[in-house]
Amino acid sequence: MTTITALPTPVPSRDSPTTFAARADAFLTALPNFGTEINLVVSEVNATAVASAASAVSSAVQAAASLASQYASSAASEVAVNASGAAKWVNPHSYNVGDAAWSPATGYVYRCYTATSANTDPAYAPGYWMLAGTSMPQMVIESSIAITMTANMHVVLTNVAASKAKLPATPGIGSVCAVTTANGLATNSIGYNATGDARTIMGVAEDLILDSLYCTVWLRYVNPELGWRVV
């Protein structure tokens, strides 16, 4: 770091006419070098700040990638267990107590606890189906500035520009979405989807601004009336 040379003292003063000229000459002579050193220090401080921010972003991305690997391994194991004997839910079809099926809306496996032949996806029929167990949402490291999420997705925003993760238009009840800021900005957003059933975030039909530099926001879809709620 550049050292700033102190200006000559005592400073010129008209109260001391006999020394004013000499002190003024010395003071004025030192000012150009003082200004140069000040500019160098400012540049060095800015460079250090930029490097620190870049390091923080890199660390966040690496951490997210590490978590993605862990979650993928855990998810693969759990999905294999849950999906054993579980076929895709279809209609028309009759399901008995204990039957398992995975929902086309959410990808989750549900187990029937009340016999039904209703034509309602398990994600929308809590009176007949319960979750058989879920893994963490699938994590996606996203480098573009815009992405439309699917149900049960965890997006990590890494583009250097402000980015938006748009919520799915037709999620199943209980669907989860998560967004992580990993680009050091406080201007990223989670976009509400005006074209589907889930048109609000926290009851408001507008985007949710992620005004924290490094955060993860989890949302869960309640129903068409209540929309998405921050967990």
| 67 within 8 A of 55, measured Cβ to Cβ | no
> Which of residues 111, 135, 159 is at a domain's end?
135
DSSP character for 12?
P
Last residue of a domain, which of 115, 135, 155? 135
Domain count, the chain: 2
Is the residue at 12 inside a domain? no
Report the pLDDT value the prediction gives residue 73, as an integer from 0 to 100: 44
Q: In whole angstroms, what is the distance from residue 56 CA to residue 77 CA? A: 32
Q: Is residue 121 part of a domain?
A: yes
Q: Is the residue at 180 inside a domain?
A: yes
Span 157-182, average pLDDT: 92
**145 and 36 housed in the same domain:** yes
Coil, helix or strand at residue 25: helix
- CATH number for position 91: 2.10.10.20
Whether 58 and 156 map to the same domain: the answer is: yes
- Cis amide bond preceding 10, omega within 30: yes
CA–CA distance, 86 with 71 (Å, rounded to integer): 22
Domain with 211 in it: what CATH number?
2.60.120.640
Does residue 68 sit in the same domain as residue 90?
no
* pLDDT above 90 (res 139): no
16 inside domain: no
Using the predicted structure, report yes or no on whether residue 138 has a pLDDT greater than 90. Answer: no
Give pLDDT, residue 20: 81
Look up the domain containing 161 and give its range: 21-80+137-231
Position 76 confidence tier, pLDDT thresholds 50, 70, 90: very low
